[in-house]
Amino acid sequence: MTAQTTTTIAPPVSPTLEKLIASREAEAIEQYRLSKITRENALFAAADAEIEHGNAEAAFEDIEDSFSALSEEFTAADHAEAFSALRRAELRLTGAQAKARQAEKAVVSVDKLAAEVLAQVVRAALPGATVVTTFRDVGNNKPAQEELPLALVIQSDATALNKDGSISSTGVVKVRWYRGALYTSLSADRLEKAAAGISVGMEIVGNVSSSHHGALEEIRVKLHSGLAGLPFLAKIDPWSLRNVGATVTADIAAACRYHDETPSASRIDGAHRTSFVTVLNHEASVVSNDVDDLGERLLVLDLSVLVETHKEKQGRTSSEEIDAILKTLGDGAFFPGVGLCERLDRVSPEETTVPVEDREVRTLLAMSNDGPVDAHKVGYEATHAHYLRATLRSTTVTPVV
């Protein structure tokens, strides 16, 4: 008796979620290409119909004007034929415009710009997690166990951009956090702190939703600012150079204050005052401004910030606060009109004490308090100048807006 051999057919291996997304995006991109062709053809047809309508309308008006002038140039048959042609042109124009609108709506969005910006935030909020961006919803598909933890950032609508290529506004962008049972939860607070740390403006829409016993969480976000790449700056506006120092001074004042104290802004440009310090955005100058063959600009600025200390904040000095601020801003902060900061360092390791006899600087600080300047008191509080150097990048290549 011959033994029968049983052949076991292995079940098909499900693609990873990343591969599934890549496949669906490829299909969508082809659909996008075809829908754009359809839209362009519909727009051309609508333009032709508009010309046809304009000609028919002009011909009909000429005949009616002729009749009004008692001219015998045209007959009643000519009038009837022109009216019929005009009516036909009106209907064709209406139909062509409707098809153009339908074709416009049929163009799917393949924009992931906002998703890429939000992905930067998610990576900062969830270190070690795989972050995938897409413009296609994956439905009920989920990653395999070996893919966890995985964050999926899903964008459905096109991104509105400012002239410098930064985000102006977006529709809702969803973050799905497939964390399994062993990884940290995704809270709105965690995401907002990460966004603030990399200069991305965003708002949480609704609450964090949870399913599968907490193994899957979803949060909805709208972005108001941020950059996926380098900002576009055709040229550097000299008035924008002080934006770096202005941000530094505002951050120093915010760090050196009582918990519930609001720093006061002075009529002196860039000055901020708290119970602990008065901070003045003093000077800014260009060290170099170079553009390479690819249109990428490297801008180096020197700037100085003056800090008058009224009293030390318990536990930390203003100098220590400044070092922490420089580290944060130097790690990718965006300064409008200047660029994306990749380094912000002290020119010298220590701050320089401003001499008591430097009356001009000290009078500026005194004036920043918005009160009368008492010449007898100018120069009696510890004042230091912090000399800084900022390295910023931007592009001169116009973004697609």
DSSP-assigned states of every residue in 269-319: TTEEE-SSEEEEEEEEEEEEEEE-TTSEEEEEEEEEEEEEESSPPTT--HH
Of the chain, the percentage scoring pLDDT greater than 90 comes to 21
Are 246 and 385 found together in one domain?
yes
Are 152 and 60 found together in one domain?
no
Are 243 and 363 found together in one domain?
yes
Of the chain, the percentage scoring pLDDT greater than 70 comes to 82
CATH of the domain at 342: 3.30.2000
- Does residue 230 belong to any structural domain of this protein? no
User: Do 266 and 368 contact (CB within 8 A), yes or no?
Assistant: yes
- Does residue 221 belong to any structural domain of this protein? yes
122 vs 348, residue with greater confidence: 122
226 vs 9, residue with greater confidence: 226
43 vs 11, residue with greater confidence: 43
Are 243 and 391 found together in one domain?
yes
| pLDDT over threshold 70, residue 12 | no
Q: Is the overall model pTM greater than 0.85, yes or no?
A: no
User: Do 179 and 185 contact (CB within 8 A), yes or no?
Assistant: yes
Domains held by the chain: number: 3
User: Do 221 and 202 contact (CB within 8 A), yes or no?
Assistant: yes
Are 206 and 251 found together in one domain?
no
- Does residue 151 belong to any structural domain of this protein? yes
Q: Which pLDDT belongs to residue 104?
A: 86
Q: What is the three-state SS of 207-265?
A: EEEEECCCCEEEEEEEEEECCCCCCECCCCCHHHHHHHHHHHHHHHHHHCCCCCCCCEE
Q: Which pLDDT belongs to residue 300?
A: 94
Q: What residue type is 195 in one-letter code?
A: A
Q: Which pLDDT belongs to residue 10?
A: 39
pLDDT per residue as tens digits for the range 227-249: 777 888 888 888 888 888 888 88
Are 255 and 386 found together in one domain?
yes
| Alpha-carbon span 339 to 349, nearest angstrom | 25
Are 220 and 102 found together in one domain?
no
- Does residue 319 belong to any structural domain of this protein? yes
| pLDDT over threshold 50, residue 401 | no
Q: Are strands 150-155 and 130-134 parallel, antiparallel or unpaired?
A: parallel
- Does residue 1 belong to any structural domain of this protein? no
pLDDT per residue as tens digits for the range 54-108: 999 999 999 999 999 998 899 999 999 999 999 999 999 999 999 999 988 888 7
- Does residue 11 belong to any structural domain of this protein? no
Are 128 and 72 found together in one domain?
no
Q: Which pLDDT belongs to residue 269?
A: 58
Cis? peptide before 149, omega within 30° of 0? yes
Are 261 and 323 found together in one domain?
yes
- Does residue 282 belong to any structural domain of this protein? yes
Q: Which pLDDT belongs to residue 351?
A: 60
23 is in which domain, residue-wise? 17-106
Tell me the HSE value of 354 on the side-chain side, using a 13 A CA sphere.
26
Rg (CA), the chain: 32
Are 66 and 185 found together in one domain?
no
| Alpha-carbon span 232 to 199, nearest angstrom | 17
- 3-class DSSP state for residue 152? strand
Are 291 and 374 found together in one domain?
yes
**Mean of all residue pLDDT scores within the chain:** 80
| pLDDT over threshold 60, residue 358 | no
Q: What's the average model confidence in pLDDT over 348-366?
A: 57
| Alpha-carbon span 372 to 216, nearest angstrom | 61
User: Do 19 and 143 contact (CB within 8 A), yes or no?
Assistant: no
Among 106, 130, 146, the domain boundary falls at: 106
CA-closest candidate to residue 388, choices 280, 318, 284, 308: 284
- Does residue 88 belong to any structural domain of this protein? yes
Among 42, 71, 106, the domain boundary falls at: 106
Q: Fill in the DSSP letter of residue 328.
A: H
Among 75, 106, 137, the domain boundary falls at: 106
- 3-class DSSP state for residue 343? strand
